[in-house]
Structure 1
Amino acid sequence: MSDLIRISWSHKESPEAYTVLPGEEVVIGIQTKGRISVHSGKQSKTLAKAGITGILRGPRTFFSEKNTKSLLVYISPLLLSRMISVPMDQISDSSLSLEDLFSKEMISGLIADCEEADWKGQESTPTLEKFRLLLPVKEEKEKFVSEAVLRIKSSMGEIAIKGLASDLGVSQSSLERGFRSRVGLSPKEYAGLVRFRNIFKYYNSSSSLTELALEAGYYDQAHFIREFKKKTGFSPKQWFRQNSSSVSDLTF
C-alpha cells in the first residue's frame, strides 16, 4: 500500500499563487495554518480547511495565504475508491470539503491530529498512520480495473482500449464504467495522462522536444503539442522555457 499513498508537509511562508498540473493521484490537504483558495478566471473560492482535489484534466491555479502550512496526502484513486462510497468521477476536476465524503466528527479529529503534529513538530509518518486507521479499506471489486491501470502504465499509454478490454475478458463498456467509478477518468483519458506524465520523466534525457514527444509516447509533434496545451495551458516550448530549472522539483 506504500506505493498507493504518500504524505508530506507543505509550508508556504509568503503569499503565493501556484499552478498544479494533472497527475495520477488524488490530493487531500489539511491546513494547520492559513488558508488556500482556488482561482478560475476572475473568480476565487476559499477551500475548506480539510479538502480534497480529484484527478485533474487540466491545470488548476491555487493561492496560499502568508504562512500557510498543510499536511498533504497523495493517494491513488484506486485505493481511495475502496475507502469512500462516492464514485471517483464525482471528484474529478473538483476541490471539495472532506466533510462531503466523511463524517464531521471524523474530519474534526483529523484536523486536531494534524494541528497537534504541527505544534509538536512531528514528521508526517505518525499522522499518516492515524489517517489510515480512520479510513478502513473495503474489499476490492472490479479487479480488472487495477490490472488495466498496470497495463496502460507498462505500455506508456500506447494501448488500444478495445483490445485491452478484450484481453481482460470484459466488455469495453464495463471497462469504461469501472474506470470512471474507480479512477475518475475514462481509460482513454487515463492513457493520455500517463503519456503526459512521461514527458517529465524523460525531459532531462531528451535532446529535443521532438525526441521527447516520441519517448513519451506521442505519435507526432502536433499530437504532443495539442495534448500538452490541454494539460498545462501552454505550448511545450513556452512551458519548459519558464519551468525547465524546476522540473525535477515539481510535485503535482
Structure 2
Amino acid sequence: MQVHAFAPTEALAPFVRTFEIIEAGDAGEKLLIPETGLILGFRYAGSSSLVEGAARLEVPDHVVTGLRATARRMVTAAGSGIILAKFRDGAAGAFFDPPLHQLFGATLPLEDLVDPRAVEAASAGIRAARSHRARVDALERFLLAQRARRDWRADPVVDAALRAIRADPGALRVAPLAGDLGLSVDGLEKRFRRSVGASPKQVASILRLRRALGAHRPGTPLTRLALDAGYYDQAHFIRQVVAAVGVAPRAFLHAAEFCL
C-alpha cells in the first residue's frame, strides 16, 4: 500500500489538514484509528469494505466518515485507489449542512450530503486525472465550490475549547472549561458537538490515543507512552486501547497493522 500526502492550497488550509492518495497494489487489511476530523473520500479504482463482526459492509465510492470512538477494520481490493480529504477538527461544517454530531459513527454516501450532480462531476474529474496532483486539484475545485455555497463562520467558543483540548487532552475537565468560556456544561457540549462532531471528552480521548500510538517505538515502555500522551497511568491507557481496538496495547502494537 502506498500513501501520498499533499498539503492543501492556501484557500483550503484553514479547513483541510491534508489530502492523501492511497493505492493498494495487493489486497490488504488495515485497522483505521479514530481521527478528530471528518474524512471525505473519492474512490477512483477498485473497492473496499468495512469488517464489523461477521459482516462486511461495502464502502461507497464517494464517502463521508464521521468521528467515532472505535477503530474500523478496512479490507481493500487489489488495484484500488482513493483520494481523501482529512478535515481539521471543527472545520467540516464549512462544507456540510447537518450538525456534525449527526454523523458520529457513520459512513455515508457523499450524495446524502451534497448535490449528487456535483459529486458525479468531481468524481469524473478525479477518475480522468492522469496524475496524483491532478486528482488533488480536482478535489480542491469541488471543495472550493461547496465552500462558496455556504455562509459559514467558525464558532469562536468552540475554537477556544479545541485549543485547550489540543494543548493538554489529559487535563480536560469540562465544567471548568465551560466556566472559563462563560457557558454552562450543557451549553458548551451542544455547541461543541454541533461544530466538531463529538463531545469534548470524546475528542480528548481520541487525541490521547493517537498521540500514544504515534509515539510508540519498539522498546518504549507502556507507562512512558501513557504518561506522555496524558493518561493518568498505564491502566488508564490499557483500558482505552481495549475499548478502541478490542485488544490490550502490548498485543496490538506488536501485531496489528494500523493507520493513524
TM-score (norm 2): 0.87
- Given the alignment, which residue of 221, 233, 241 partners 2:246? 233
Whether 1:131 and 2:132 are equivalent positions in the alignment is no
Provide the secondary structure at the position in 1 that maps to 2:244: helix
Question: Which amino acid counterpart does residue 228 of structure 1 have in structure 2?
Answer: V
Answer whether contact 1:11 1:68 (CA < 8 A) is retained: yes
**What is the deviation of 1:26?**
1.6
The answer for the alignment partner of 2:165 in structure 1 is 152
The within-5 A match list for 1:68-217 is: 68-117=80-129, 120-123=130-133, 124-136=135-147, 138-204=151-217, 207-217=220-230
Answer whether contact 2:91 2:196 (CA < 8 A) is retained: no
Equivalences, count: 245
Provide the secondary structure at the position in 1 that maps to 2:170: coil
TM-score (norm 1): 0.90
Provide the secondary structure at the position in 1 that maps to 2:191: helix
| Further displaced range: 127-136 or 164-173 | 127-136
Deviations 1:180-227 (A, max 9, x none): 111121111111112112203432498411121111111122211101
Unaligned 5+ segments in structure 1 are: none
Answer whether contact 2:122 2:139 (CA < 8 A) is retained: no
How well do the aligned residues superpose, as a CA RMSD in angstroms? 1.9
Cα distance in 2 for partners of 1:32, 1:66 equals 13
Answer whether contact 2:44 2:81 (CA < 8 A) is retained: yes
Unaligned 5+ segments in structure 2 are: 1-11
Question: Which amino acid counterpart does residue 143 of structure 2 have in structure 1?
Answer: R
Cα distance in 2 for partners of 1:196, 1:158 equals 14
Cα distance in 1 for partners of 2:116, 2:61 equals 12
Provide the secondary structure at the position in 2 that maps to 1:241: helix
Cα distance in 2 for partners of 1:221, 1:209 equals 6
**What is the deviation of 1:77?**
4.2
Provide the secondary structure at the position in 1 that maps to 2:51: strand
Cα distance in 1 for partners of 2:168, 2:119 equals 39
